[in-house]
Structure 1
Amino acid sequence: MALFVMIIRKMVQNKWLVSSLFFGMLMTVALVGTMPIYSEAILSRMLVKDLETSQTESAVYPGSHWSVINFFDQSEQKRRALLARLDGFMQTQAAPGFGIPVEELVTERRTKSVTFSFEESARNDPKRSKPSTSLRSFTDFAKHIKLTDGRMPSDKPVNGVYETLVTERALTNFKIVLDTVLVLEDPKIKGTVKIKPVGVFVKKEDDDPYFRDPLLSDLGNSFIVTDALFQSEFTAQGKIPVSSSGWFFVLDYTKMELRNVQSFLDTNKLIKNTLTASVGRYQADFKVPALHTIESYFARATKLRTLMWSLNVPVLIMLGFYMFMVSNLIVDRQRNEIAVLRSRGAARWQIVASFAVEGLLLSAAALALGPPIGLKLTEVLGASNGFLEFVQRARMPVHLNSDAYLYGALAAAASFLMTLIPALLATRVTIVGHKQQLARFNKTPLWHKAFLDVLTLGIAIYGLYTFRTKLKDIQKLGLNVDDLRIDPLQFVVPALFVVGAGLLLLRVYPYALRLVYWIGRKWWPPSLYATLIQVGRSNSQYQFLMVFLILTIAIGVFSAGAARTLNNNTEDRIRYANGADVVLESEWPNDKPPPAPAGPQGAIAAPAAPVPSVVHYLEPPFDPYMKLPGVEAAAKVFVKPEASFYVGEANGSATLIGIDSDDFGRTAWFPERLLPYPLYDYLNLIASDSRAVLISRTLAEQRKVKPGDTIYAGWGETDKQPFLVYGVIDYFPTFNPNPPLGSIDAADEQSKDNAPMLIVGHLSRMQLQLGLEPYQVWLKLKPGTTTEELYQGIAKSDLNVTRIVNTRADLVKAKNDPFLMALNGVLTLGFIISILISFVGFLLYWVLSLKGRTLQNGILRAVGLSLRQLVSMLALEQLLTSGVAILIGVFVGNLASRLYVPNFQIAFNPSSLVPPFQVVFKAIDFLRLYSTVGIMLLIGIGILSYMLSRIRVHQALKLGED
């Protein structure tokens, strides 16, 4: 107990240092705790987005789960018992087991298929085969339909007749009207069963997920009875054998999160096992639309976790360095006490134990408070729209999970060990060794002795080389990212480069400082002279602070560059792939025969009329496109993907694009950096000759074509027409010159000439000599125009638009992509924490430095230096240490960004990435960064200046005498 009290008193005496150390521990635990919290939140959003996308593409509600069993030779008693047991299982075990709200549990029953005849014998046609049908029931059916004719059926037989509902299609198929009595016929029917359709229904809501088939086409050959009637007459009494029973779950997939995905999968597996064990493997069927999405989701989740950890590694290294620096400051203030204790017989473990108890107290407090703070930080991250950019966005589903405390515990343990290292090193020194160290201020730091700067730089450069080599293989061979094993440590090498480059420049810095001192040693004023002497002779004292600031600034610059680069490259990729702000496709009048009408279900479809070899089209007017609201420019763009060509003895297929060069240049989006000259120069090149074409470099290299050659191109049965090659281009809007994924076999030389090829020519010549076919209309919108205005204009016009590509909508979708959200959020959080830690470390270091130099500053004041001169000395000292560290950090961060930010393109498919990945810097990002750092330094210097102004000369001198 006495030892514990002594430790508490020691912590109170060093409250500012201990508080700073605790703050570092707290931020470390909070940052590490955000990883599982943010991962779960962003992955949950990613899963919901993927499910929404699958619903849009397939028109199938992804939150459904359909399972059905079929009966063949089971007895009525066994069927009845089995249905009762499975109904209970679905309600009590399956429904709660999914882990997400169950909107509907639809139990469907179906009788065996039977034939029927009309009760009025005169209506029966002996020459016609009797139609077959089945009776079906659905739970809560009446809540989801509305009658268009007739009335609702009764739950009980009416005069021995079962009343039913039908669809309009069923009436047409069976050629009956309402209130027609039908007699069901089958050897297994007990007694006489009569049915009578009394109502026609449709869905109450078009988008109601209650119905498995949105078109109700599966009900076109059935009669619907109430669930109560089916249960009492067919399930219980067996008047018609039950042939199948299904259970259809309508789940609220928007509530699906990472934590309940496994529950969904386990429940699906449980349902499958239960049903197959009940009726056999071949008598059960299952349809779960979300399974495919969830399976692909796990692969994306793994990549996202790797990316997030990789992005956080530099910040974690910086936090570790901070804790080591603060722990070292704490130990430095107690080195004399430690040395005295060692000289008086105290064991090393006893001294280390006292520091360990202190570290345990701080680590435990950090573990208790860190994860809840991480939860609040995660909520803020959901609003990140870029680096240090925040927008109003729907709240992410964040939860404080067990993994947050597990990761926090590991971070607290690492922090605890980090704080013990300086104590362990300090206990090795006796009182004599301690006095010797005090006399040697300018000792060489450990990392310079061990050449850690050279070692880390070597590892970082080797990692960069191996990554670039693998990236070239991916792009050259058209491979997927997963085809080549990419070491996740590739994302760690930027941090190693920052550390290595920073330490290497700090190794050179003392020599630069000596050079500055030597150049002006005869002219420097006393304040500058004293400052140069102070910094030059005590350079090792500033090493920790300078390395710390270098890491903070360099990581901030790297984070800003990475976020801006990935955001801009994502936007450029979408704009390039679409070609313009809006792309429209419309239906042209033509002589193609209409499709054959669909007959009744089960009937043989009538043969469609043969499609002529050449379809003649009539071009609609183009002026209505120009008059759409908000349109600045419009262009006709004809695209023929599989056009054939030959030049000399070489031939092949290429994408043929026909344009009006003037309109195309005004409308299309294209970055200038992709070609040696601006795109409009190439368009002007071919504008003067209707035969002129541009070809892709892939075509020129693979078929040995050069400017001036004549190339013959066409499609279908039309005669190929000659065109004259005027130029060779690497890129063109919408054209991807990279080989398709998986199209190249590294062992097959011929497959390496499989890159896509392109021919760009004049639309008017193609229409005149090759054929008139529908083209796309590309639109460039005026600034400030909303897509809603454009859509309203299209709706009001007579344009028969069949497809719209909206680049703005694609950009918004990309901004909400979980990968970009995670990247922006993690980089923003890492930088904010870096700045906070940097400010605390900066202020702490200089406050302690000033307190340690109170006597020196007092003497300087006593010999005649004014407060203004002292502040100027302090400012100059800050410039030579913190200022130089910031400049080095800016330089190293920019260099690291240019070298290592391209590594992040591995998050996409590099082989299909067009335009090529390019590192992007914007002034606004650095304005935010440097203003934040500048404010931090100004506040720090202001506090230090205030402390200098509070120095009393007589107190300082009296302290020196004592």
Structure 2
Amino acid sequence: LQAVFLGAIALGVGIFASQGIAYVIGSTRSFLDFTAQSDIRVLLTRTSLRFGVFAVIVVIVAQVIPSIGAARHTIISYKAERARTLRPPWWQRAWLDVLLLIPAGYGAYLLRQQGSIAVGQAGISGGPFDNPLLFLVPALVTLALTLFLLRILPKFMAGLAWLAGRLNGIGFLLASRYLSRDPSFYTAPLVLLILTLSLSIFTASLAVTLDRHLHDQSYYRIGADARLAELGVFSEGDGAGSGPFGAAFGEGGATEEDTSTIPESRWVFIPVSEHLRIDGIEGAARVGDYDARMQVGDGWLDAYFIGIDRIDFPKASYWRRDFAPASLGALMNSLALNPNGILLPRQFMADNSIRVGDSVQVQVSTFSYGADMSMTVVGEIDYFPTWYEEEDGPLIVGNLDYLFEEFGGQVPYDVWVRTAPGIDYNQMVRDLGTLDLRVVDWRATRPVIVAEQEQPSRQGLFGVLSVGFLAAALLTVLGFLLYALFSFRRRFIELGTLRAIGLSPGQMTAFLAWELLFLIMLGVVVGTLLGVLVS
């Protein structure tokens, strides 16, 4: 009856508290970050009530089972067992902690076989949020190792007590002996502390990894804070030439009759520096991507040419140190010293026996313009923003101005811009229109990141983990407070006896302080190590 009464109270309070918790989960941006704008409407459904009633029934059963086990005791046997643990708990007798290490180890093996938690470039959504092993295995590993630690902990404390017996200090000796003899009394708060710390470290590490991956993936796909597709003014000439390559891009290769011709029509563009007149734009660079072909050996390969403005590109683009063996500044200097210089992927160069300094024949065609150029390899890269080898093929990075010179005129390109935080991109595009800069399409990285962070699957996961951590932390603190209180009350006569045989108040205080310090430090150290291990 007592359990039923407590369950009814918990269900009534939980109905109202759960609505607030659901709203908090809906406002979750990342782990312990509740700053997302949320207009979620929380509704109480019959399904929710059924789950609540089921949870209450489980808790009632969990409360009643220990009472059934206690019914076999007499008052004498009960007092004897409370005074000192006579046998290990049932899960140690059944070797449950050791058995749990088997599925935990197998799950860790499966995660290692999968490799990375990062999702592929084909899309940002999904990935780790669809993989339950990513969250179940660390929890199982932590639980199994924690239970196994409790098996060997009394022996460790006994060794510590043996060492303390050879040192001066009554409090340290009494605390270590007590913890080695009565592990059942501090098991619950210690397990709570270890699990809370280890899982919170893992969750925080996971959140940082996923947030950083989302940031890097979004910036890599777009290339900068924003990418603007602009059109200049196209002026028709008297006689536009025909397509520049003809068969050069077909199977037969180039012929004399298919040599490049320069149309008399021209594209006219406003200088890219005009973008800097708009409030919130801090950097702008021209970047053009065009279809190309490259001669390798006796054949031609389809390639992807990205032309950049070497001066402005570092001011606006997204770049990471591991994108190339050399720094971005060194790569730009190499392009500056060689107007016809190009950068090629390092693996592609190794596969085709190409070295820095070699000349490569490159053909680029777009908008009825074409160029057949002999270009010099001046550097190597591993990655480049917006380039995916599986989709685009081999990459060629060169000087955009040199390409335009070979074309005999400019062709449309994108403008990558670096913007101030909090900028309104729609207003930015309207302001650019007042300068006769025609933006036909645009993409910005920060709105993409915010939209992904507000995906229900992501919010739900990190919301549950955040609320669970806060609840576990509260229970851990409460558990240690109750442990200290009930431990003192249970050992009131014991402590009085120690005081009567001559222990000073300072020694008594040291005894209790060492006991709590042992438990807290052990929980913090083990929880931190396990959290780092599973991360």
Residues 763 and 481 of structure 1: is their aligned pair in 2 closer, same or farther, counting only changes over 3 Å?
closer
Counterpart selection for 2:383 from 727, 731, 746: 731
- Which digits, 9 at most, give the CA deviation of each residue in 1:729-760, with x for residues without a partner? 221122234x35xxxxxxxxxxxxxx743221
Counterpart selection for 1:810 from 448, 452, 459: 448
- Residue 567 of structure 1: CA displacement? 2.6
d(CA) in 1 for partners of 2:155, 2:325: 44
d(CA) in 1 for partners of 2:405, 2:6: 82
d(CA) in 1 for partners of 2:123, 2:419: 37
d(CA) in 2 for partners of 1:858, 1:472: 58
- Residue 724 of structure 1: CA displacement? 2.7
- Which digits, 9 at most, give the CA deviation of each residue in 1:864-916, with x for residues without a partner? 545454333322211111321122112212322x2xxxxxxxxxxxxxxxxxx
Q: Greater CA deviation, 414-423 or 848-857? A: 414-423
- Residue 404 of structure 1: CA displacement? 0.6
Say whether residues 1:721 and 2:373 are aligned partners. yes
Say whether residues 1:412 and 2:56 are aligned partners. yes
Q: Which residue of 1 aligns with 2:107?
A: 463
Residues 655 and 410 of structure 1: is their aligned pair in 2 closer, same or farther, counting only changes over 3 Å?
farther
| Aligned length in residues | 509
Residue identity opposite 1:761 in structure 2: G
Q: Which residue of 2 aligns with 1:780?
A: 418
Residues 448 and 892 of structure 1: is their aligned pair in 2 closer, same or farther, counting only changes over 3 Å?
same
- Which digits, 9 at most, give the CA deviation of each residue in 1:913-944, with x for residues without a partner? xxxxxxxxxxxxxxxxxxxxxxxxxxxxxxxx
Say whether residues 1:762 and 2:399 are aligned partners. yes
- Which digits, 9 at most, give the CA deviation of each residue in 1:820-855, with x for residues without a partner? 322332222111211222233222222221110111
Say whether residues 1:613 and 2:257 are aligned partners. no
- Which digits, 9 at most, give the CA deviation of each residue in 1:562-617, with x for residues without a partner? 33332332222222222112222221222469xxxxxxxxxxxxxxx999535642
Q: Which residue of 2 aligns with 1:444?
A: 88
Q: Which residue of 1 aligns with 2:489?
A: 851
Q: State whether residues 442 and 538 of structure 1, in contact with CA within 8 Å, keep that contact through their aligned partners in structure 2.
A: no
d(CA) in 1 for partners of 2:472, 2:270: 61
Q: 3-state SS of the aligned residue for 1:500? A: helix
Q: Greater CA deviation, 543-552 or 870-879? A: 870-879
Residues 473 and 796 of structure 1: is their aligned pair in 2 closer, same or farther, counting only changes over 3 Å?
closer
Say whether residues 1:660 and 2:309 are aligned partners. yes
Q: Which residue of 1 aligns with 2:258?
A: none
Say whether residues 1:646 and 2:284 are aligned partners. no
Say whether residues 1:691 and 2:321 are aligned partners. no
d(CA) in 1 for partners of 2:2, 2:178: 34
d(CA) in 2 for partners of 1:825, 1:663: 41
Counterpart selection for 1:525 from 154, 169, 173: 169
- Residue 396 of structure 1: CA displacement? 0.8
Residues 675 and 432 of structure 1: is their aligned pair in 2 closer, same or farther, counting only changes over 3 Å?
farther
Counterpart selection for 1:573 from 194, 217, 231: 217
d(CA) in 2 for partners of 1:448, 1:645: 68
Residues 504 and 709 of structure 1: is their aligned pair in 2 closer, same or farther, counting only changes over 3 Å?
farther
d(CA) in 2 for partners of 1:511, 1:673: 48
Q: State whether residues 563 and 827 of structure 1, in contact with CA within 8 Å, keep that contact through their aligned partners in structure 2.
A: no
Residues 420 and 711 of structure 1: is their aligned pair in 2 closer, same or farther, counting only changes over 3 Å?
farther
Report 1 or 2 for greater relative contact order, CA contacts < 8 Å, sequence distance ≥ 6. Answer: 2
Q: State whether residues 563 and 823 of structure 1, in contact with CA within 8 Å, keep that contact through their aligned partners in structure 2.
A: no
Matches within 5 A, 1:198-347: none
d(CA) in 1 for partners of 2:505, 2:326: 61
Q: State whether residues 433 and 439 of structure 2, in contact with CA within 8 Å, keep that contact through their aligned partners in structure 1.
A: no
Residues 671 and 427 of structure 1: is their aligned pair in 2 closer, same or farther, counting only changes over 3 Å?
farther
Residue identity opposite 1:624 in structure 2: E
Q: 3-state SS of the aligned residue for 1:399? A: coil
- Which digits, 9 at most, give the CA deviation of each residue in 1:796-832, with x for residues without a partner? 3222222222223333333333233223322221112
Residues 774 and 501 of structure 1: is their aligned pair in 2 closer, same or farther, counting only changes over 3 Å?
same
Q: State whether residues 636 and 664 of structure 1, in contact with CA within 8 Å, keep that contact through their aligned partners in structure 2.
A: yes
Say whether residues 1:839 and 2:477 are aligned partners. yes
- Residue 369 of structure 1: CA displacement? 3.4
Residues 469 and 886 of structure 1: is their aligned pair in 2 closer, same or farther, counting only changes over 3 Å?
same
Q: 3-state SS of the aligned residue for 2:300? A: strand
- Which digits, 9 at most, give the CA deviation of each residue in 1:85-144, with x for residues without a partner? xxxxxxxxxxxxxxxxxxxxxxxxxxxxxxxxxxxxxxxxxxxxxxxxxxxxxxxxxxxx
Residues 520 and 580 of structure 1: is their aligned pair in 2 closer, same or farther, counting only changes over 3 Å?
same
d(CA) in 2 for partners of 1:472, 1:528: 46
d(CA) in 2 for partners of 1:793, 1:482: 36
Residue identity opposite 2:141 in structure 1: F
Q: State whether residues 505 and 888 of structure 1, in contact with CA within 8 Å, keep that contact through their aligned partners in structure 2.
A: no
Residue identity opposite 2:289 in structure 1: V
Q: 3-state SS of the aligned residue for 1:385? A: coil
Say whether residues 1:385 and 2:15 are aligned partners. no
d(CA) in 1 for partners of 2:139, 2:70: 29
Q: 3-state SS of the aligned residue for 2:370? A: coil
Residues 706 and 425 of structure 1: is their aligned pair in 2 closer, same or farther, counting only changes over 3 Å?
farther
Q: Name structure 2 gaps, 5 residues minimum.
A: 245-262
d(CA) in 2 for partners of 1:790, 1:384: 29
d(CA) in 2 for partners of 1:396, 1:697: 49
- Which digits, 9 at most, give the CA deviation of each residue in 1:278-297, with x for residues without a partner? xxxxxxxxxxxxxxxxxxxx
Q: 3-state SS of the aligned residue for 1:777? A: strand
Say whether residues 1:637 and 2:274 are aligned partners. no
d(CA) in 1 for partners of 2:327, 2:284: 20
Q: State whether residues 344 and 381 of structure 2, in contact with CA within 8 Å, keep that contact through their aligned partners in structure 1.
A: yes
Residues 438 and 471 of structure 1: is their aligned pair in 2 closer, same or farther, counting only changes over 3 Å?
closer
Q: Which residue of 2 aligns with 1:871?
A: 509
Residue identity opposite 2:17 in structure 1: I
Q: State whether residues 578 and 807 of structure 1, in contact with CA within 8 Å, keep that contact through their aligned partners in structure 2.
A: yes
- Residue 688 of structure 1: CA displacement? 2.6
Q: 3-state SS of the aligned residue for 2:387? A: coil
Q: State whether residues 555 and 893 of structure 1, in contact with CA within 8 Å, keep that contact through their aligned partners in structure 2.
A: yes
- Residue 673 of structure 1: CA displacement? 4.7
d(CA) in 2 for partners of 1:475, 1:380: 27
Residue identity opposite 1:629 in structure 2: D
Counterpart selection for 1:422 from 53, 58, 66: 66
Q: 3-state SS of the aligned residue for 1:713? A: strand
Q: State whether residues 372 and 400 of structure 1, in contact with CA within 8 Å, keep that contact through their aligned partners in structure 2.
A: no
- Residue 374 of structure 1: CA displacement? 0.9
Q: State whether residues 546 and 885 of structure 1, in contact with CA within 8 Å, keep that contact through their aligned partners in structure 2.
A: yes
d(CA) in 2 for partners of 1:498, 1:816: 29
Counterpart selection for 2:4 from 360, 374, 386: 360
d(CA) in 2 for partners of 1:375, 1:637: 50
Q: Which residue of 2 aligns with 1:624?
A: 274
d(CA) in 2 for partners of 1:482, 1:635: 33
- Residue 762 of structure 1: CA displacement? 1.7
Residues 491 and 388 of structure 1: is their aligned pair in 2 closer, same or farther, counting only changes over 3 Å?
closer
Residue identity opposite 2:458 in structure 1: L
Q: Which residue of 1 aligns with 2:192?
A: 548
d(CA) in 1 for partners of 2:415, 2:206: 35
- Residue 442 of structure 1: CA displacement? 6.4
Residues 633 and 836 of structure 1: is their aligned pair in 2 closer, same or farther, counting only changes over 3 Å?
same
Q: Which residue of 2 aligns with 1:537?
A: 181
Q: State whether residues 474 and 480 of structure 1, in contact with CA within 8 Å, keep that contact through their aligned partners in structure 2.
A: no
The alignment yields a C-alpha RMSD, in angstroms, of: 3.6
Q: 3-state SS of the aligned residue for 2:186? A: helix
TM-score calculated relative to the size of structure 2: 0.83
Q: Which residue of 1 aligns with 2:321?
A: 672
Q: State whether residues 580 and 779 of structure 1, in contact with CA within 8 Å, keep that contact through their aligned partners in structure 2.
A: yes
Q: 3-state SS of the aligned residue for 2:312? A: helix
Q: 3-state SS of the aligned residue for 2:233? A: coil
Larger radius of gyration: 1
